[in-house]
Structure 1
Amino acid sequence: MLFHLSIAAHEPRHVAEVIAEFWGGEALPFPPVCEGCWIAFAGDERATAMEVYPIDTRLKEADGDADAYGERGHEGRYTATHAAIATILSQDEVLAIAAREGWPAKYRKRGDQFGVIELWIEGRQMIELLTSEMQREYFATTTIANWKAMLAAEPVSA
């Protein structure tokens, strides 16, 4: 189960507000890491959330008995970090929001198994959004047993 995920954005508040909109949730400031951080809450029974940090933030390990902290000053255009998140909206509604924001988005079928809307926040950070129908496909196909069967059919080298 995913409780929360963090991403970086040029406009953390705006990105958190749009993600919260996809979920029907709420975006709020998130000061524990560093100034300018926001968090999008889904408002669901799992307390699902996505933290959105300023683009030049990196997390650092603290010495001794202290929490990790955010440090500003590191930026890159793309990252391997992404998330697949549920949305209460329809595909058309998601694509309309993406168009409004000027963010690239398109429907994709992952491995002929389940559909996603591949959305590029600020044109650089991928998020996969799954509508109700796409979520049903995902749950029906993305299981440990199915993953093992796929690996057995097409072995990969470690």
Structure 2
Amino acid sequence: MINHISIAVNDPERVANVLSEIWDGAVYPFPPCPDSYFVVANDGRGTAVEVTPAGTVIIPGEGLPDENDLNTPTEEHEAKFVQSELKPRYVATHLNINTKKSIEEIREIAKREDWRVLVCNRGEGLFQLVEVWVENTFMLEVMTPEQTARYVEITSPEFMEKAFSGAFDAHIASKQRSENLNLIG
């Protein structure tokens, strides 16, 4: 299970409140990173999103404590949130979340925020979701209860094994061919 993810946006408070609305969740300040918020889903699992200002990156701490167990103070050695000069418009990272809301409710929220919204039919009908472009830069995939049920079904190991066995075999064969090419010349 993925417990939480951090995303960087231009208006963290606004985005945090919209995520909370989609989830019927709650928003809290996130002290480790200034001007950031922690959005908790109302799912009984502790699912959350840390919403930080655009340009925020996480860097590793420095040094290590002499001894390290569960009682060792480690704050000075832990990862830290810092601001970077780089603020990409788009990123490869995206987030797929569940909601109790309907497609129409999701659309209404996105349109109110003036964010791109599209009901998607992924994989030629394999599954559906609602694509919401947070601030028109970050892709958030939102799934209704029905869409979530289908997603859970198609991501089971049994389904994936059947669906991708041919693709996996082709990938292995392709890799073996390219390794054999290295022997030429």
Please give the alpha-carbon distance, in whole angstroms, between the structure 2 residues aligned to 1:17 and 1:27: 7
Q: Secondary structure at the residue paired with 1:98? A: helix
Please give the alpha-carbon distance, in whole angstroms, between the structure 1 residues aligned to 2:54 and 2:154: 34
Q: Secondary structure at the residue paired with 2:100? A: coil
Please give the alpha-carbon distance, in whole angstroms, between the structure 2 residues aligned to 1:2 and 1:52: 16
Number of equivalences = 157
1:152 offset after TM fit, Å? 1.6
The question of 1:140 aligning with 2:139 is answered no
Cα deviation per residue 1:40-64 (whole Å; 9 max; x = unaligned)? 1113211110011100111101111
Q: Which has the higher helix share?
A: 2
Residue 41 of structure 2 aligns with an amino acid whose one-letter code is: A
Residue 36 of structure 1 aligns with an amino acid whose one-letter code is: D
**Which sits farther off after the overlay, 3-12 or 135-144?**
135-144
| Aligned position for 2:4 | 4
Q: Secondary structure at the residue paired with 2:89? A: coil
State the structure with more CA Rg. Answer: 2
The question of 1:21 aligning with 2:21 is answered yes
Kindly, what percent of the aligned residue pairs are identical? 35
Unpaired segments ≥5 residues, structure 1? none
Please give the alpha-carbon distance, in whole angstroms, between the structure 1 residues aligned to 2:16 and 2:45: 18
The question of 1:119 aligning with 2:132 is answered yes
| Aligned position for 1:149 | 162
Please give the alpha-carbon distance, in whole angstroms, between the structure 2 residues aligned to 1:131 and 1:84: 11
The question of 1:70 aligning with 2:81 is answered yes
Please give the alpha-carbon distance, in whole angstroms, between the structure 2 residues aligned to 1:109 and 1:144: 22
Q: Secondary structure at the residue paired with 1:103? A: coil
Unpaired segments ≥5 residues, structure 2? 65-76, 176-185
Residue 89 of structure 1 aligns with an amino acid whose one-letter code is: K
Q: Secondary structure at the residue paired with 1:149? A: helix
Q: Secondary structure at the residue paired with 2:130? A: strand
| Aligned position for 1:30 | 30
Please give the alpha-carbon distance, in whole angstroms, between the structure 1 residues aligned to 2:163 and 2:6: 30
Q: Which has the higher strand share?
A: 1
TM-score between the two structures when normalised by the length of structure 1: 0.94
Residue 98 of structure 2 aligns with an amino acid whose one-letter code is: A
| Aligned position for 1:93 | 105
TM-score between the two structures when normalised by the length of structure 2: 0.81
Cα deviation per residue 1:75-106 (whole Å; 9 max; x = unaligned)? 11111111110011100000000000000011
